[in-house]
Amino acid sequence: MAKKRIKIKYTNLFILIVIVYISVQIIIWAIGYFTKTKVLENECISLKIKETGLVVMEEYLIKSNEEGTVSYNVCSGEKIQKDKSILTVNQLNQNDEISSQIKSLQDDIKKLEQEKNSVNSNIILNKKEQLKILESKRNNYFIDYKSPISGIVSFKYDDNYDKLDRQKEDIDEDIIDSIENNFVDIKSEKHKVKSSDILLRIINPNEVYVYIFTDKNVLKNNQDVNIVINEQEISGKVYNIYKKNGKNAAIIKIMEQNMSIYDTRIKEFDIIYKKIEGFKIPIESIVEENNILGVYVINEETKMPEFVSLNKNFYKDEKYLYVDYNRIKDEKNLNLYDRILLYPNFINKNIKVSR
């Protein structure tokens, strides 16, 4: 009877062991099956930083010297030459009647000249003399304004001009903190103005800069960058980098015409400092072994994860590591279409991954 009880116990123990073994295998299979992986694909990646930038430019505010009615000869965004007539101010509308008389005389002269009659010669000469007198008289009331520089026309201005009129390297974070976007629209159609009213702004597109202050060391002198504004990329070049109050200050020169940036004073910009073709690896997939950063790649023959080093051919931000494919393709470590563990841990690094 005792032997029978021992035999039953051993049988139960064997069954228990088998159940435990099967359960463990099922658990291991389930972990391997449901382990998340990511397939590495070659992507076009823009490496960027996000910083608040201050736009500083060579700009001229055209102010009225008299009271009257302004009329414009230019449009917003138009590129103009130096000394081009940009607007006129009619002093209190006193030349309207004279202008009408001038137009009538010009029409008469044109008509007489088309007739080609010698009898009309003296009449034409007299009318031309009258025209000169009227034009001279009109000039007493009709003020013509010309552009002081070659540049771009803007019908917006702000009151930060005096704050930013200084040496380039004198600008610091305190100035940026004190600046706001407060651009005012100027009416582009004919309207009345008072003395000292701002009539127009002219920007020199060759002297437009964006100032940023950053803790990151990704920019260097003469580096080509792109600045994103309103989902547009504007090409720029790092003009200078200097230290200001313990921070890295970077001056980026804008290299192409863009009205959005001319009519912006301060904004959070995406600054693209490099473009690569490569792999975008989530930070959660990165592990460190023996002070070396890498990922676990699934061996497609054994289905077992294997540690692969990234060496130093990567860039990093808060969410991803970006691996430059053109720099690693000859190393034969990390390859196109490799599957990597998305969330490696002490269990899934040591079991087969079937998905």
Q: Is the pTM value of this prediction over 0.85?
A: no
Cα-based torsion angle of the residue sequence 170, 171, 175, 180 in order, rounded to the nearest 10 degrees = 140
Residue 200 and residue 62 in contact, taking contact as beta carbons nearer than 8 Å? yes
119: Cα within 13 Å, side-chain hemisphere: 1
Q: What residues form DSSP beta bridges with 288?
A: 293
Residue 25 pLDDT: 52
Residue 332 pLDDT: 66
Residue 343 pLDDT: 86
Do the domain assignments include residue 125? yes
Helices assigned H by DSSP within the chain: 2-34, 96-115, 121-138, 173-178, 259-262, 325-328
Do the domain assignments include residue 133? yes
Distance separating alpha carbons of residues 257 and 2, to the nearest angstrom: 99
Do the domain assignments include residue 38? no
Residue 42 and residue 277 in contact, taking contact as beta carbons nearer than 8 Å? yes
Length of the chain: 355
Do the domain assignments include residue 341? no
310: Cα within 13 Å, side-chain hemisphere: 27
Number of domains composing the chain: 1
Do the domain assignments include residue 265? no
Residue 20 pLDDT: 61
Give the structural domain span for 111: 95-140
Distance separating alpha carbons of residues 227 and 209, to the nearest angstrom: 11
**Taking the CB of residue 205, how many other CB atoms lie within 10 A of it?**
18
Do the domain assignments include residue 11? no
Low-confidence ranges of the chain (pLDDT < 50): 30, 32
pLDDT digits (tens, 9 = 90+) for 88-111: 998 765 666 777 778 888 888 888
**Taking the CB of residue 160, how many other CB atoms lie within 10 A of it?**
20
The three-class DSSP label of residue 65 is coil
**Taking the CB of residue 46, how many other CB atoms lie within 10 A of it?**
15
Do the domain assignments include residue 85? no
Sign of CA dihedral 264, 266, 267, 270: positive
pLDDT digits (tens, 9 = 90+) for 188-246: 999 999 989 999 999 999 999 999 998 888 899 999 999 999 889 999 999 999 887 77
**Taking the CB of residue 147, how many other CB atoms lie within 10 A of it?**
20
Do the domain assignments include residue 115? yes
